[in-house]
Amino acid sequence: MIEPQLAYSLFLKMYCSELLESAAIFVEEQATTIEEKRTLHVLTTSFVQLLTNQRVVDKEALHYWVQIRSQTILAHSTLFVEALSYALETVLHATQYTYRDQVLQVHETLLTQSKDFVSQWHQNSQDEPFSEQWRLQMDTFSKALIRYNGSEDLAILLKLAEETFQFKRCIFLSYHPWLDEFSGAIGADRQALERLRGKIDVEPVFSMKRAIFLKNPAPYVQPVAIEMLNLSSVIFIPIMHDQQLYGWLSFDQMGESFDCSATYLNFLQEVGNRLGMYLGRPQLRNRLNRNITLTEKEKLVLYLLLEGHSNKEIASLLYMSEFTVRDYVKMLMQKTEARNRTHLITLAFRSGLID
């Protein structure tokens, strides 16, 4: 007799498309809003794809999946379970799959585990209040946010965050909305930071735009980043204010594994919220802009850099030599005190030079 988990895994791999199609049909037939349908489509698709990529169901991977989407699952749990069950029954009936009982057995177990993970994570985040030590740490960091002024002080604030919250490393990952990408900006070896980049829509850790703790970052973080930064356990906190995403903070112990409760994750998210308010201050956003005047040509070059063009492409578009373009880029970097082209665009966007 074939092992139940193998029977389940093979069934998902063989009929993944049919399962997703059946789940989509069920969702579309429900009396819900367009947004709710879209959310259910994302949930069912990501759940099936998570399990399809595994030979034996990894409980840790399932737990991470639940952690990232716990609030969404909690809000749509009934329809989510019904959509998956409907899809499974429909495809099992249509294919007359030999190992039907094993598939249903494993599926029910996984749904139960998922519900338990959601319940535990939600319960843990609700019950435990912030400790007095955490509140003192928050006060220390908040006073620093009042004392410092400007994104150029972020490096100082990251070092303070390491000391205050007792992590060996804190990195700021910058968000580039014009490209919908993230990249390493401050807080680690320059060569390692330059390798930390990717698209938001294909990185689950960042696409959800919510705090997450990863006991083991693989496969949620790029292998090259894990190796270069010697990552073991890691926490990612989105930095937002007034619906604007500035980037993420990552906290880790430089190769050492650690645990993090849902309550402490909520606490660090509050730290991130306060940093978002710091970066969102109007006087900070506009300070650089008040001190910089750009010529028309410099603005043209800046906007073309924003669109991802190379010096050669900009030269062709503006009918000037590559050497001239290089001089304009150099002048822009001098005026903004940018370290590189990516930093130049980030500073220009944050300061209001780019609308």
Tell me the whole-structure pTM to 2 decimals. Answer: 0.60
**Listed residues 103, 124, 145: the one ending a domain:** 124
Query: Could you give the CA distance from residue 83 to residue 129 in angstroms, rounded to a whole number?
Result: 36
Q: Which of 61-65, 94-98, 114-118, 124-128 has the lowest mean pLDDT?
A: 124-128
**Domain match, 150 and 203 both:** yes
- Supply 83's token pair: 């959509």
Domain harbouring 306, CATH code = 1.10.10.10
Which residue is associated with the tokens 């006073």?
A: 143
Q: Are residues 35 and 107 in the same domain?
A: yes
> Mean pLDDT of all residues in the chain?
82
- 8 A C-beta contact, residue 27 and residue 79: yes
Of 269, 288, 307, the domain-final residue: 288
140-174 pLDDT per residue, tens = 999 888 887 766 688 888 899 999 999 999 988 88
| Residue from 59, 49, 56 nearest 19 by CA | 49
Domain count, the chain: 3
Identify which has the larger pLDDT, 281 or 139: 139
Measured at the CA of 308, the angle between CA 174 and CA 347, to 5 degrees, comes to 40
Residues 323 and 298 in one domain: yes
Residues 85 and 201 in one domain: no
For residue 211, the model assigns a pLDDT of 84
Q: Are both 73 and 146 inside the same structural domain?
A: no
Q: Is the pLDDT of residue 208 over 70?
A: no
- How confident is the model at residue 288, as a pLDDT? 44
The domain that holds 222 is classified in CATH as: 3.30.450.40
> Residue 139 is part of which domain span?
132-288
User: Is residue 191 located within the same domain as residue 238?
Assistant: yes
Q: The dihedral of CA 262, 266, 271, 276: what is its sign?
A: positive
Q: How confident is the model at residue 123 (pLDDT cuts 50, 70, 90)?
A: low
Residue 197: pLDDT above 70?
Answer: no
Query: What mean pLDDT do residues 249-262 have?
Result: 89
The residue ranking higher by pLDDT, 23 or 220, is 23
Q: What pLDDT is recorded for position 7?
A: 87
Residue that finishes a domain, picked among 74, 93, 124: 124
**Rounded Cα–Cα distance for residues 326 and 311 (Å):** 7
In this structure, the answer to whether residues 227 and 332 fall within a common structural domain is: no
The per-residue pLDDT for range 42-101, each reduced to its tens digit, is 889 988 888 887 777 777 778 777 777 777 887 888 899 999 999 999 999 999 998 999
For residue 221, what are its two tokens?
A: 């973080």
260/281 same-domain check: yes
Identify whether residues 196 and 231 lie together within a single domain.
Answer: yes
CA distance 270 to 274: 6
Can you give the three-state secondary structure of the chain, one letter per residue?
CCCHHHHHHHHHHHCHHHHHHHHHHHHHCCCCCHHHHHHHHHHHHHHHHHHHCCCCCCHHHHHHHHHHHHHHHHHHHHHHHHHHHHHHHHHHHHHCCCCHHHHHHHHHHHHHHHHHHHHHHHHHHHHCCCCHHHHHHHHHHHHHHHHCCCHHHHHHHHHHHHHHHCCCEEEEEEEECCCCEEEEEECCCHHHHHHCEEEHHHCHHHHCCCCEEECCCCCCCCHHHHHHHCCCCEEEEEEEECCEEEEEEEEEECCECCCCCHHHHHHHHHHHHHHHHHHCCHHHHHHHHHCCCCCHHHHHHHHHHHCCCCHHHHHHHHCCCHHHHHHHHHHHHHHHCCCCHHHHHHHHHHHCCCC
Same domain, 115 and 140: no
Say what the pLDDT of residue 1 is.
65
* pLDDT tens digit sequence for 237-246: 998 888 788 8
157 and 270 belong to one structural domain = yes
Say yes or no: 63 and 11 in one domain: yes
**Placement of tokens 């001239």 in the chain:** 324
